[in-house]
Amino acid sequence: MHLPPMILQNDFERYLDHLVAGKSVLAIGETGMDFETDYKDLTEWRFRRLRDKASKLVGIDYNKKNVRAAAKKGFDFRFADIQDRASLQSAIGRSIFDVIILVDVIEHLSNTADALAVLRDVLAPAGILIITTPTPWYFRDIQTVLLQRRPIMASDHTQYIVPSHFAQLGLRCDLRLVADGTVHFLYRPSSIRSSLLKLIAWWNPELLNHYVFVMRRR
């Protein structure tokens, strides 16, 4: 399945479904801020859906409370810090994975290069690493800055990462962006804003709300 340069949220989820089918998958995060509050209805949980499609699915999270709550529901979630090689190894042993997914995780980290290097070591030789992260130029955030004169960043985020940063991080961590460095843009419009976002995407996709980076080992 081809990932287009600009992709709607529902299409991105279908892309993940196709990507993980029959594969061993490591999913980082996925438990939300508070698992028991955010995922009372497990039918809405991406991890549950992917478990039904992957041959093996392991979840990793740094939030011990969420890990325990997910495990009680019967899901294979383990505690680890992906920025620390020994921590991740203690959670997964010698396992390697065909697909590693980080959806809106990397902007929370303190040591991005360390995390990518650690994950690269548990990625199969032909494996694929999928990362999404907010863009710094989302048009609604720019609007807020202009009107309210304050910067926009979630209090638990540590960074924005743009394509040139990912290219450099890849060089340092022995990873590469696929398709000659193509960057994909993810957007999550409501029905009311859909036409506006399509127009913005045509004019300048950097103003959409998320990047999608697809990486492989060099």
Domain 6-217: state its class. Answer: alpha beta
Q: Which strand (E) or helix (H) includes residue 103?
A: strand 97-103
Rg (CA), the chain: 17
What are the extents of the domains in the chain? 6-217
pLDDT above 60: residue 190:
no
Side chain identity at residue 135, one-letter code: T
pLDDT above 90: residue 28:
yes
Alpha helices, DSSP H only, in the chain? 9-20, 35-38, 46-51, 64-72, 85-92, 112-121, 139-148, 163-173, 178-181, 194-203
Q: What is the pLDDT of residue 189?
A: 57
Residues in the chain: 218
Instruction: Place 108 in a pLDDT band, splitting at 50, 70 and 90.
Output: very high
pLDDT above 60: residue 181:
no
**3-state DSSP of 122-145:** CEEEEEEEEEEEECCCCHHHHHHH
Q: What angle do CA 160, 46, 20 make, to 5 degrees?
A: 90
pLDDT in tens, 118-149: 999 999 999 999 999 998 888 778 888 888 87
Q: Rounded mean pLDDT of the chain? A: 88
- Give the lowest-confidence range in 64-73, 83-92, 100-109, 161-170: 161-170
